[in-house]
Amino acid sequence: MKKAYVIGVDYGTDSVRSVIVNALNGQEIAASVFYYPRWKKGLYCDPAKKQFRQHPLDYIEGLEATIKDCIQKAGPEVAAQIRSISVDTTGSSPVAVDKTGTPLALNDAFKDNPNALFILWKDHTSTKEAMAINEHAKKFDINYLQYVGGIYSSEWYWAKLLHIFKTDAAVRAAAASWVEHADWIPFLLTGGSDVSRLKRGVCTAGHKALWSEAFGGFPPNAFFATLDPVLDGFVDHLPKETFAADVPAGTISEAWAGRLGLPSDVLVGIGAMDAHMGAVGGQIEPYYLSKVMGTSTCDMLVVPKEDLTEGKTVKGICGQVTGSVIPAMIGLEAGQSAFGDVYAWFKNLLSWPLQLIKGSEKIDAAAADAMIEEISAKIIPALAAEAAKLPLQEQDLYAIDWLNGRRTPDANQLLHGALTGLGLGSDAPQIFKALVEATCFGAKAIVDRFEEEGIRLKGLIGVGGVAKKSPYIMQVMADVMGMPIRIHRSEQTCAIGAAMFAATVAGIYPRVEEAMLAMGQGFDREYLPDAARHELYRKRMKQYKKIGAFLESNNL
C-alpha cells in the first residue's frame, strides 16, 4: 500500500476541526477549523440558568466547511485516495429527532426552540431530574447506576431527556427518539433516513445513557416508566446493541460524497466522545491517566479486562465501559466540569472595563475593537507569568473550582466555586494563582479517588489546548500531583484520534492499537514535580478539601 488518507473530525465546544492524515505514518496533510456562528453569538444560551444549547446547522455548516477546506488544501490527488472518516464530539450532547432521524430544530415548527436543539454537555438545567434518577435507582434490586460511578449527572442523556419532556410538551410529542451528537453525524454522513436503523456507539451509550452488557442493554422500561410517566415506552425504541468506534457505521451517501468532493466508497466510522478519541490520539497506555484539558477536563484511563475482577466498579466517576476507548479494554472516565472555563471566566471578569473603550472619543471603533482583542489575548499569559513569580506558602489564597458544578469525584452540579482568604492586598495574579491551584487540586481529587478504589496510576498524559499552551499550569499540575506529566506533541489530538479510528475502520490496521503505534506523533515535553512544592501542595490540598466539604454540607 503506497498511499492511504483518512479524515478525522473533532467537534469541540466552540468549534469543529477536521484533519486529513496520511494513515501510513500519521502525517497531517491539511487541517481546518470552523467556529460555530450561532454559538459565538450566544444564541439559545442563558448562562445564568446554566442553559447551553447548540443548533445543528452550526454542526452541518462546520462539517462541510472544514472538510472542503482540507480537500482544497490537500489537492485532488489526496482527495481521491481518502478511505474513511471518523468523528468525535462533546458529550453527553443529545438532541430530539423525528422518525427520519432529523433534529427537530431543522423543522420550521421548532427552528428557534432551544429545547429542540442539541443540549450541550455543559447544560445543567436538569439537576432536579438527575437527583430524581439517583433517588429512584435506590428502589431497585439491580443497581442500574453501578457502571456510571453510582451517581447520575445532569450532564447526561436521561436527565436531559426527562427535563425537556417534562417542560416542553410539543417537543415530547414530536420526538421519535433522542440521539447523541456523536451518533448523529455518522448517521447524517451515511444518508440515514430511519432513526430505528441508527447505530449507537458504546462510548456515549455506556458512559452517559446507562447501557451495559451486564443488563443486556439499557435498563428496562419499568425503571423509566416508574421514574416518570413521560418516559413510559421510550426505551423500547432504543436498540439493545451498541458498537465500538472501530466499526463502520456505513458508507458515505452519494449526496454527501458529492457535497464534500469525496470518493463514493468512503467508509464512515461509529462516533465517540472527544476525550475518548483524544486519549487514543494522545497514545494512551494502560494505567496512564490521559487528561484532555480544554474548557473542561475529561480524564481517561484504560485497564485490561482481566485486571478488574467481575463486579468491581469504581465509585463516583463517569463510568467504566468495555470498548469505549480501546475496543478490547475497559475505559474509565472522570473529569472536571470547568477547567479552562475557570480561567476564561476570570479573564472575562477582568476584561469587563475594556468595553468602555468602545465609547471613547479618543479612538475610532475599528481601533477600539482591535485594542480590546489585543489586550484580552494578553491577560492570561501575563497573569501566568506574574503568578509563577509568587512564592508558595501554605496560607495563600484558596479557591474552589466548582464554577460549573463538580463532575467527579461524586457528581454534584449544584455546587458553586469560591474564593477565601481575600484581603485588601489581594491582587489579580494572586487570585489567578489560587484558581490554577484549585483546578489542579480538583484534578488531584480524581487521582486520589482512583487510588482509593485500588487503581494505581503509573503517570499522566496531557493533551488539549491548556496542556500545550500553559507551561505554568502544567508545572503546578505536576507539583500538585507529585507525578510527571508528558505532553503530547499533536495540536489536534482528538481529531488525530478520530483519524486513527478511521484508519482502523478502513482496514488499514486490524486494531486501533496498531494505528496508534504507526500514526502517533509522540511527546514533546515532560513536566517533573518539585518535591518541596509537592509537600506544600499536599498540605494545601487538605485545606482545599475542608473548604469544599464545608461548602457542600452547607449547600453554598
Whether 5-282+491-521 and 340-489+524-553 share one fold: the answer is yes
Mean pLDDT of 66-88: 98
Averaged pLDDT, 535-546? 97
- CA neighbor of 505 nearest in space, from 327, 175, 278, 245: 245
Backbone angle region of 421, left / alpha / beta, with phi > 0 → left and psi within -120 to 50 → alpha: left
- Residue 194 Rama label (left phi>0; alpha psi -120 to 50; beta): beta
pLDDT of residue 311: 73
The architecture in CATH of the region 340-489+524-553 reads 2-Layer Sandwich (3.30)
How would you write 40-55 as a 3-class SS string?
Answer: HCCCCCEHHHCECEEC
C-alpha cell at 66: 472544514
Q: Are 56 and 39 in contact (CB under 8 A)?
A: no
Average pLDDT estimate for 394-407: 96
Structural domain spans, the chain:
5-282+491-521, 340-489+524-553
Write down the pLDDT at residue 464. Answer: 87
Task: Give me the pLDDT at residue 1, please.
Answer: 58
Helix (H, G, I), strand (E, B) or coil at 212: strand
H-state helical runs in 311-417: 340-351, 365-389
The model's pLDDT over 475-494, given as tens digits with 9 standing for 90+, comes to 999 999 999 999 999 888 99
To the nearest 10°, report the CA torsion of 225, 228, 231, 236: -20
Q: What is the DSSP letter of 315?
A: T
Residue in 343, 363, 246 with CA at minimum distance from that of residue 296 = 343
pLDDT surpasses 90 at 71: yes
Average the pLDDT over 234-248 and give the result: 96
- How far is it, in rounded angstroms, from Cα 103 to Cα 200? 16
pLDDT on residue 168: 98
Q: What is the pLDDT of residue 491?
A: 84
Taking alpha carbons only, the member of 315, 423, 443, 436 closest to residue 383 is: 436
Cβ–Cβ < 8 Å for 197, 261: no
Which phi and psi (to 5°) does residue 10 adopt?
-120, 110
CB-based contact 21:4 (threshold 8 Å):
no
Q: What is the mean pLDDT of the chain?
A: 96
C-alpha cell at 552: 457542600
Cβ partners under 8 Å of residue 102, min gap 6 = none
How many angstroms separate the Cα of 118 from the Cα of each of 17, 73, 103, 310, 348?
18, 31, 8, 36, 25
Q: Provide the grid cell at 124.
A: 445543567
Residues 6 or more apart from 469 whose CB is under 8 A from it?
none
Q: What is the mean pLDDT of residues 433-457?
A: 96
397: pLDDT strictly greater than 70: yes
Which pLDDT does position 187 carry in this prediction? 98
Candidate CATH numbers 1.20.1050.10, 3.30.420.40, 3.40.50.720, 3.40.50.1100; the one for domain 5-282+491-521? 3.30.420.40
User: Does the pLDDT value for residue 98 go beyond 80?
Assistant: yes
CB 528 within 8 A of CB 478: yes
Q: Taking 90 as the threshold, does the pLDDT of residue 465 lie above it?
A: no
Mean pLDDT of 263-278: 97
Three cell numbers written together for 431: 487570585
% of the chain at pLDDT higher than 90: 95
Residue 6 pLDDT > 80: yes
Residues whose CB is less than 8 angstroms from the CB of residue 16 and which lie 6 or more positions away in sequence, other chains included: 9, 10, 33, 34, 36, 59, 62, 63, 66
Q: What is the average pLDDT across 279-294?
A: 95
Q: Classify residue 87 by burial, with Cβ atoms within 10 Å: 0-12, 13-18, 19+.
A: buried
The pLDDT value given to residue 3? 85
Which pLDDT tens digit goes with each residue over 196-218? 999 999 999 999 999 999 999 99
